[in-house]
Chain A
């Protein structure tokens, strides 16, 4: 009964390919996020969705396209992968109201060769 799950956990691919990372949460949260952790361990927000609607889109290349088919899922599709996309991608979710903890998935390590 994992709260936030991501698939796959590891992804190795070549430059120029298109890949997707899936995220699902079973906590009934209404907001989901994608964070990127670079090789120096720095974590930064990429996208935020609330009730399937995009509410935050940081400066991320257009090659990255999040898709939220329903409140429990937020997938990340990446086109034309580049070496610099190699990172760990974390999905997270949270509930509104007075309690603001974000629950993180296990992360997906993407390696572009």
Chain B
């Protein structure tokens, strides 16, 4: 079974600064996807960024980027130029690739507060 660990229950960052959220996972699978989801107070789950395990290049989406270390099973999220709207719960998630669709396995989340 796969497990996802987020070791930082809460973090805070000053507006315009950079923050990194940690995520490690455990799996015996070789083909999988990793995701970061954002859940603001509205509770809507919003996909922030996706990484395919077979790709060595780290994914980036505007101010969001990941540091994917497959051998270390580490998948951290870096948020640059933090904005007040980035305040939310952030969940790291794992999905193994299969012939069919497989559900997401989530970490316990990191609550990020961006301070003005």
Please report which residues of chain B, range 10-44, place their CB below 8 angstroms from some CB of chain A when the two chains form the complex.
Answer: 33, 39, 42-44
Complex contact B97–A100 (CB within 8 A):
yes
Number of A-B contacts (CB under 8 A): 51
Chain B interface residue bracket vs A: 20 to 34
User: Secondary structure at chain B's binding surface: helix, strand, loop or mixed?
Assistant: loop
Contacts A101-B47, A107-B44 hold; do A33 and B103 have CB atoms under 8 A apart?
Answer: yes
Chain B residues near A102 (CB-CB < 8 A): 104
B62 is an interface residue with CB less than 8 A from chain A = no
Chain A interface residue bracket vs B: 20 to 34
Complex contact B106–A42 (CB within 8 A):
yes
A45, B75: Cα distance in complex, Å: 21
Contact with A along B40-69 (1 / 0, CB 8 A): 001111010010000000000000000000
Chain A residues near B108 (CB-CB < 8 A): 40-42
Complex contact A104–B91 (CB within 8 A):
no
A90, B103: Cα distance in complex, Å: 13
User: Secondary structure at chain A's binding surface: helix, strand, loop or mixed?
Assistant: strand
Complex contact A106–B44 (CB within 8 A):
yes
Please report which residues of chain A, range 26-79, place their CB below 8 angstroms from some CB of chain B when the two chains form the complex.
Answer: 30-31, 33, 35, 40-45, 48, 50, 55-56
- B residues near A (Cβ < 8 Å) are 33, 39, 42-45, 47, 50, 89, 91, 95, 97, 100-106, 108-109
